[in-house]
Amino acid sequence: MKNRINLTTIQLTFFIIQTQIGVGILGLPSNVFSTSKQDSWMSILFSGIVIQVIILMMWGIGRRFPSMSLFHYSTQLIGKVAGTSINIIYIIYGVMVASLVLMYSSAIIKMWVLPLTPKWIVIALLTLTAVYIGKETVLEISSFFVVVSGLIVLLIIISFIVMFTYPVDWRFLFPIGHSGIGNILRGAKEAYFSMLGFELILILYPYFQHIGEKKVLFSVSIANLFVTLLYTFLMVVTMVTFSPDELLTIPQPVLYFVKSLYLQIVERIDLFFISLWIINVITTLTSYLFLATEGCLITFSKYKNKGRTIYILLLSAIASGVALIPNKESEIDLMNKAVSQMSNVTLLIIPLFLFGISILFRESGRM
């Protein structure tokens, strides 16, 4: 792994943060509230706890094979044919998530900023930017992620301004626990899908093994904690800003409460906010194209001479093509459900299976 000695815990933390924070940040409050109502913030916290448990499992298998990514040790644990099949599943998963990111982000951009611009142009601009970043090394990608992460602070500042300038009603948070444990858990499932990105630890572990296994766990855990608290904070701000009836009808409540702000120095602060959000979309898109590209480079190693650039161009073209297919919101929702079901396999079933195999047969990649 070239340049891995230069990678730091901060880079790993922001790599995960920038992957987790993406399209879902705008629609998360509405999606979770439709299920959990005033207990939506509890659903997000519970989702963060579940994700932390999954992170521990992924870290557990990573520390057994510190110099390998999932694409390496899958074939070592269960054989070349079965391992290659698992690798292909992850490659398809990366492309599908990238397609879903393009679908939702292009729809929001057309709705709020560029209503007359053809969808394919918006998708092409997002994809080409992600390809330009994703074709670089992990060192360069993670360094870029660290730099742009400072923009998240602006998002938090804008949310605080809303709380202190907009007429909020804290009574909308009560009564606590009234929705019931069942609805809170169902809301947690909605939040969980919007917080995907932590699974990149399966691919990034060998690049960061030199910082020590405890620091790897600490970095990813800090990233998850930050994203969980950020989403919980935005959920609370949204809930006290809009009434329950309004939240059920507004698709992107975060954008609507930002639009309500009036600052003399910025006429359309919602457009400024979307500009910051697009950067998070591109970083998420870059991460999943990176995941799929890594899978191709390792799985189809005999074609490795074709290079990272060729693979990422091919995969991004497929993702863009798939993103252009849906023309109705119902079709996008169908794709969303398919990716959600596939994430259960790639984030839970396969890692747990491989972890169990490694323990049962005492397999390890340690030197």
pLDDT given at position 2: 43
Contact criterion met (CB below 8 Å) for 88 and 74: no
How far does Cα 174 stand from its chain's mean position? 30
| Sequence-distant (≥ 6) Cβ neighbours of residue 343 within 8 angstroms | 93, 97, 193, 196
Return the higher-pLDDT residue of 275 and 48: 48
pLDDT tens, position by position, 248-260? 888 888 888 777 7
pLDDT given at position 3: 43
Domain ranges of the chain: 4-360
pLDDT given at position 353: 93
Percent of the chain with pLDDT over 70: 94
CA atoms of 240 and 167, how far apart (whole Å): 9
State yes or no: pLDDT of 4 exceeds 50. Answer: no
pLDDT given at position 361: 74
340 CB neighbour count, 10 Å cutoff: 15
pLDDT tens, position by position, 138-160? 999 999 999 888 878 887 887 77
Query: How wide is the angle at C-alpha 219 spanned by C-alphas 274 and 17, nearest 5°?
Result: 10
State yes or no: pLDDT of 39 exceeds 50. Answer: yes
Q: What is the DSSP string of 108-162?
A: HHHHHT-TTS-HHHHHHHHHHHHHHHHTS-HHHHHHHHHHHTTHHHHHHHHHHHH
CA atoms of 317 and 304, how far apart (whole Å): 19
pLDDT given at position 264: 65
CA atoms of 262 and 260, how far apart (whole Å): 7
Average pLDDT, the chain: 87
pTM value > 0.85: yes
State yes or no: pLDDT of 335 exceeds 70. Answer: yes
pLDDT given at position 158: 78
Percent of the chain with pLDDT over 90: 50
What would the CATH number be for the domain defined by 4-360? 1.20.1740.10
CA atoms of 312 and 132, how far apart (whole Å): 9
289 band by pLDDT with thresholds 50, 70 and 90: very high
Contact criterion met (CB below 8 Å) for 73 and 365: yes
- Residue 143, token pair as written in the block: 């360094």
**Residue in 312, 234, 318 with CA at minimum distance from that of residue 277:** 234
Stretch 185-200: mean pLDDT: 90
pLDDT given at position 1: 44
Contact criterion met (CB below 8 Å) for 39 and 184: yes
CA atoms of 62 and 365, how far apart (whole Å): 9
- Residue 310, token pair as written in the block: 């060729």
- Residue 48, token pair as written in the block: 């963060």
For 253-261, the CB contacts below 8 A with 24+ separation are 253/29, 253/30, 254/25, 254/26, 254/29, 255/26, 255/108, 255/112, 257/162, 257/166, 258/158, 258/162, 260/162, 260/166, 261/158, 261/161, 261/162, 261/165, 261/166
Query: How wide is the angle at C-alpha 265 spanned by C-alphas 263 and 271, nearest 5°?
Result: 75
pLDDT tens, position by position, 27-36? 888 889 988 8
State yes or no: pLDDT of 214 exceeds 50. Answer: yes
Contact criterion met (CB below 8 Å) for 269 and 158: yes
State yes or no: pLDDT of 290 exceeds 90. Answer: yes
pLDDT given at position 302: 62
307 band by pLDDT with thresholds 50, 70 and 90: confident
State yes or no: pLDDT of 338 exceeds 60. Answer: yes
